[in-house]
Amino acid sequence: MRRTCILLALVIGPLLTRPCAAQSSGSQWAAQATLAPRWTVSDQFKTLFDADDVDITGTEFRIGLGRGRRLGGDWAIVYVRKRVNDDARASTERFDRVAHDITVSGVSIDKFASFGTIKERVQIGMVFGGRIAQTAQSTP
């Protein structure tokens, strides 16, 4: 039932949007915040970790500011804090890599360059970004 509601919202929601007369064509500021209570590394990334088995999960929080145009590009600067859960593991037959209480904090800068639109509703473009972060490990 929950998946059906989410699917309906994703399909029907964009169909109900339309431009508002009050929206200006100039740049607008935006604030953003995201909380991912749980993220998981998929088994598809086993080769990236050079492992036979991957069990890595955690949480993520983001907050930032951006500026953009309704039918143009935008940019954003975001503070990111990602926590890897205790006993996160990437293992093979010969060894285990285990993480204990790891937190990654940093800044993400993203730029969306718009190449065009479809009926002034969908933008076509490319995202460019850069990130810098620091890893911290809590001591017991």
Domain that residue 51 falls in: 27-137
Q: What is the Cα–Cα distance from 124 to 71, expressed in whole angstroms?
A: 10
Domain count, the chain: 1
CA distances from 100 to 34, 87, 95 (A): 24, 6, 16
Domain contains 8: no
- 8 Å CB contact between 127 and 73: no
Domain contains 74: yes
- 8 Å CB contact between 84 and 36: no
Domain contains 91: yes
Domain contains 10: no
Task: Give the pLDDT of the chain (140 residues) as one tens digit per residue.
Answer: 667 666 666 666 566 555 555 555 688 999 999 999 999 888 888 888 888 888 888 999 999 999 998 878 899 999 999 998 888 888 888 888 788 888 999 999 999 998 888 888 888 999 999 999 998 766 55
Domain contains 103: yes
Domain contains 18: no
